[in-house]
Chains A and B, each alone.
Chain A
């Protein structure tokens, strides 16, 4: 493997078997989807800027909320972390590439096809999916547009992509570690990803099962979700959330991993409580399988079920608390500096913890009766999805981009983006807590006058936040094209790990002969 990438542009990017190139493809694809999902969000916030219907029809509004959720979860956040995994895991464990390089490229290329199918439904008769990203039956079965069938098969191949990608990550971590790289020496990003991959292999088939049941109910006369035949619409919710709750940890665990890499670097201290971090991650993953029905407190479960799911959910706060404690303790008495990745990581810790606290509120079954399906829930999960996953993804790009391309980003511009994003994020989502507690339901295209002020504030914040992402795009392109060249292998003086022993920029092939880890 002495040679570098293919000279031909198309052959390099279309037929790649290189983990770095495929990682780059994942990252650009996810950013494109992030902008698309963001555009849907802008339409939603523009419509909600004032009460009454101004810009779009309610039917289209429903398609926007649905597509925003689906595109952001499956198209933007998940592929972004797979892209980071592709780039970093082989470099971090001293492997020449991913274990199964051709399958790696297949996992990626399924995604553009899956999303082309999904987005094309917006232009079809009957419109795109309009039943919310959780696609509850019977909205997604009896009352769904015909295009739901495209959605179903799109989800099928997307799931295949995730399963293949995860199997690849598991095989890489289990089989490709350099001599001496024992499990308990692996960087935390690798640990969180391998646990995430287990979750994906376990629950993606359940999602496939859920959409298959929908397909059968819609087209072949079965009655999974129809009480008339002896089924139950609530069955859909159980199956969906058995997938869906692990899914939210699939999104957040790699983010934990990223932050656990960045905070020690800029604190110039090793991560506090490494092994407790590993065990906490595994505990969170285990708990994610046994708490799913806390999304369904108001659906009419027996009281024993409500109580069980309430207490089990609260347990998650314990390992999560361990993590937050460790991040904070890593920073304690460290020689802190506040470069852009560190700023995003600190914001992550603060805002994710805040989102965790609102999660605790929602976990109380009795209280949830009030909060359920209001903007409070929307605010809660955007604190963990955006300030959690997206902030950490942004931090990861600023942190590793100099290593990837051998050019430094502009620190001032990075900080400008951070502060705009941080402030705009809070302007957008903090008021949604108030709206939700005051009783504004989610997924509605119009609202009562009493909600007008905070909605306007939230919309202004959203537009600003959208603008900050364009600045992010600008920063990344500027760095790759015109950033200051650097060649120090250790881009950051506090950084530790195998990936920082490689030359900067990272060569096309690395660790053809495995390094020995002491």
Chain B
């Protein structure tokens, strides 16, 4: 195969085409699913194709590595691939954090009629005045907005009904019963445990590695469980839903996408855990685990951003 070359260029493969097919079917199926009266069948078929392809693809990569076809240079290509993948994920969150900033700092006051032109003048803009006098009379811009502009005008006939209570800082007295704090503790602890596991692996202590990695996976699952609890609490007791205006919108999308990434990270770590049990990793060669660990640190960093901006300052 790569007898002459210094870099392993793989043989032809059916996997990429199959993956693209799976993605195409899944995308089409998702479109068909969300349309009124649609079903999930096609989407599920696509998902199944993707799952099979991912399993086969990674098995192949692992096998290539065990057979010694992966040079240091190729390994660095995988490292770069993971770096930039995480960077792209970061930009996805930047998009939602930026949107939160925009609606919270600028749009709210504009709709409430208070927004000034800025550095040159402190009288409200024409648009803000028009909003307050014609469109959204009586809307008082606060954050978190418990009353939506729609509600301010249409009262109970409104489409968007704000929540009774937000998820924000409950004050020091109630802090111990505040779920987000526990979530933060769980997630930061899991970043620590994965770090310990990494060190154990580097020292060649496989038992310790597997134990600490297993603990990390467990913490990931606990986090997801607590997050589900919080959502149930929000929906059932606080009236905080996707439909409760911009607060619920940004809250659920930010925490929801974070949760989706935690799920993915937990699966990645769990696979690394299974591979650890099988003895796949050595002291010097364990990128499959390392990539998952980086990803895990990444979701942790995003959570800290969420905790501060969405919860504490929310």
Contacts and interface: CB of A to CB of B under 8 A. Distances in A.
Given A17-B12, A229-B148, A157 B24 contact: yes
Nearest to B118: A304
Given A201-B87, A216-B242, A219-B34, A228 B160 contact: yes
B51 interface: no
15 contacts: A15-B13, A15-B17, A17-B13, A109-B16, A110-B20, A110-B23, A210-B95, A213-B253, A222-B253, A229-B246, A230-B103, A238-B102, A242-B98, A509-B5, A513-B4
Interface stretch (B78-86, B190-198, B231-239, B282-290): B78-86
B31 A117 contact: yes
A230 B81 contact: no
A206 B99 CA distance: 11
Contact of B103 (A110, A147, A203, A235): A235
A166 B88 CA distance: 11
Given A1-B5, A100-B81, A230 B107 contact: yes
Contacts of A229: 148-150, 159-160, 244-246, 249
B45 interface: no
Contacts of A210: 95
A11 B35 contact: no
A62 to B, nearest CB: 20
A202 interface: yes
B225 interface: no
Interface in A110-127: 110, 112-114, 116-117
A221 B87 CA distance: 30
A106 B19 contact: yes
A232 interface: yes
Given A100-B77, A113-B27, A146 B84 contact: no
B95 A206 contact: yes
Interface size class of B (residues with CB under 8 A): 35 or more
B118 A156 contact: no
Contacts of A95: 7
Interface string A137-173: 0000000001101111110110010010011101110
Contact of B243 (A15, A221, A227): A221
B7 A96 contact: yes
B30 interface: yes
Nearest to A511: B5
Nearest to B35: A146
B74 to A, nearest CB: 8
A239 interface: yes
B172 interface: no
A209 interface: yes
**Which residue among A18, A102, A112, A226 has the maximum number of chain B CB atoms within 10 Å of its CB?**
A102
B11 interface: yes
A223 interface: yes
B263 interface: no
Given A103-B16, A222-B243, 12 more contacts: A16-B12, A17-B10, A109-B19, A113-B24, A219-B34, A222-B242, A222-B248, A223-B249, A228-B148, A238-B98, A239-B95, A305-B118
Interface of B: 1-7, 9-17, 19-21, 23-24, 26-28, 30-32, 34-36, 57, 73-74, 76-78, 80-81, 84-85, 87-89, 91-92, 94-96, 98-99, 102-103, 107-108, 110-111, 115, 117-120, 125, 127, 131, 135-136, 145, 148-150, 158-160, 241-249, 252-253
Given A102-B10, A201-B87, A227-B111, A152 B31 contact: yes
A513 B13 CA distance: 23
A170 B87 CA distance: 12
A449 interface: no
Given A235-B107, A238-B102, A99 B80 contact: yes
Given A96-B9, A175-B73, A227 B80 contact: no
Contacts of B9: 1, 17-18, 96-97, 101, 509
Given A97-B9, A512-B4, A109 B17 contact: yes
Contacts of B17: 14-15, 105-106, 109
A514 interface: yes
A258 interface: no
B6 A513 contact: yes
A481 interface: no
A176 interface: yes
Contacts of B80: 99, 167, 170-171, 174-175
A512 B159 CA distance: 64
A6 interface: yes
A303 B120 contact: yes
Given A109-B16, A157-B27, A206-B94, A227 B135 contact: yes
Nearest to A170: B84
A300 interface: yes
A271 interface: no
Contacts of A220: 242
A184 interface: no
Residue among A110, A174, A227 facing the most chain B CB atoms (10 A cut-off)? A227
A509 B81 CA distance: 23
Contacts of B102: 232, 235, 238
A52 interface: no
A116 B24 contact: yes
B236 to A, nearest CB: 17
A507 to B, nearest CB: 13
Most buried by A among B15, B80, B135: B80
Contact of A224 (B4, B14, B99): B99
Contacts of A509: 5, 9
A106 B23 CA distance: 10
B43 to A, nearest CB: 9
